[in-house]
A and B are shown apart, each in its own frame.
Chain A
Amino acid sequence: DIVMTQSPDSLAVSLGERATINCKSSQSVLFSSNNKNYLAWYQQKPGQPPKLLIYWASTRESGVPDRFSGSGSGTDFTLTIGNLQAEDVAVYYCQQYFGTPYTFGQGTKLEIK
């Protein structure tokens, strides 16, 4: 199974500042034939299901603010949240869909400083 490891486990960022969350996969999730990274990011608030933010490592889901951006390739990925808002407080997960079983990172809890 592909193991997804996020860092940090938690972080506190001031309103209006930038938050950066990292995700590392135990093997590459870049499919060479189409040059796509099979990596998604989700936001989960307490008592709610996850919400898809990013897929293909950097494609923003419809309706997601452009403050959210994804980058990276191969085994190392980053979710960046610019101009942090109070409503961004949540746990963020990365997920690989390169191969089954699809696997998730352990989550990163984002709080306001």
Chain B
Amino acid sequence: QVQLVQSGAEVKEPGASVKVSCKTSGYTFTTFVIHWVRQAPGQRLEWMGWINTGNANTELSQKFQGRVTFTRDTSASTAHMELSGLRSEDTAVYFCAREPGYDSTGYRIEAFDFWGQGTVVTVSS
């Protein structure tokens, strides 16, 4: 069965960086795009960007340009998200999520069918 298992909670000081891992299983890792979405307390879900796990191409939300890096390790079927220059507003639950791919008519479904359990990142001095 498809599973995405994320790394554990992190507490960071302002200005630091955090790296969150998303280990996948149950499917061919390089076949499906992985997205990153975060949810700050009391806020709506916020899309951060995606990584093509096959060729490592990425697309980032402009809001996070220059601060976030997506990488992947195909040998470990794992995606990583690193966020730098942390500030208190970055306190949130960070999710990785798999994109389903293409439907029967050949159109890409850019929604999220399987999710990691979430990683709590707390930014506090």
**A interface residues (Cβ-Cβ under 8 A, vs B):** 34, 36, 38, 40, 42, 48-52, 55-56, 59, 61, 93, 95, 97, 100-107
Pairwise interchain contact B63-A101, C-beta atoms closer than 8 A: yes
Pairwise interchain contact A50-B112, C-beta atoms closer than 8 A: yes
State how many angstroms separate the Cβ of A57 from the closest Cβ of chain B. 11
**Docked pose: A93 CA to B8 CA in angstroms:** 26
Known: A100-B59, A100-B61, A101-B62. A50 touches B109 (CB 8 A): no
Of A40, A49, A101, A103, the residue contacting B111 (CB under 8 A) is: A40
Pairwise interchain contact A61-B63, C-beta atoms closer than 8 A: no
> For residue A55, which residues in chain B have a CB less than 8 angstroms away from its CB?
100, 109, 111
Query: For chain B, which range describes its interface: under 10, 10 to 19, 20 to 34, or 35 or more residues?
Result: 20 to 34
> For residue B111, which residues in chain A have a CB less than 8 angstroms away from its CB?
40, 52, 55, 95, 97
Interface CB pairs A-B, < 8 A, 17: A38-B110, A49-B115, A49-B116, A50-B112, A51-B115, A55-B100, A56-B103, A61-B113, A93-B44, A97-B109, A100-B61, A101-B61, A102-B35, A102-B47, A103-B47, A104-B47, A106-B44
**Docked pose: A40 CA to B113 CA in angstroms:** 10
The 6 closest A-B pairs by CB, nearest first: A49-B115, A97-B110, A40-B111, A102-B47, A101-B61, A104-B45
> For residue A100, which residues in chain B have a CB less than 8 angstroms away from its CB?
47, 59, 61
Q: Please give 9 more A-B residue pairs, beta carbons under 8 A apart, in addition to A52-B112, A55-B111.
A: A49-B115, A49-B117, A49-B118, A50-B112, A50-B115, A51-B115, A61-B113, A100-B61, A106-B44
**B interface residues (Cβ-Cβ under 8 A, vs A):** 35, 44-47, 59, 61-63, 95, 97, 100, 103, 105, 107, 109-113, 115-118
**Docked pose: A103 CA to B47 CA in angstroms:** 7
Of A34, A49, A93, A107, the residue contacting B105 (CB under 8 A) is: A34
Pairwise interchain contact B110-A102, C-beta atoms closer than 8 A: yes
**Docked pose: A107 CA to B47 CA in angstroms:** 15
> For residue B118, which residues in chain A have a CB less than 8 angstroms away from its CB?
49
State how many angstroms separate the Cβ of B104 from the closest Cβ of chain A. 10
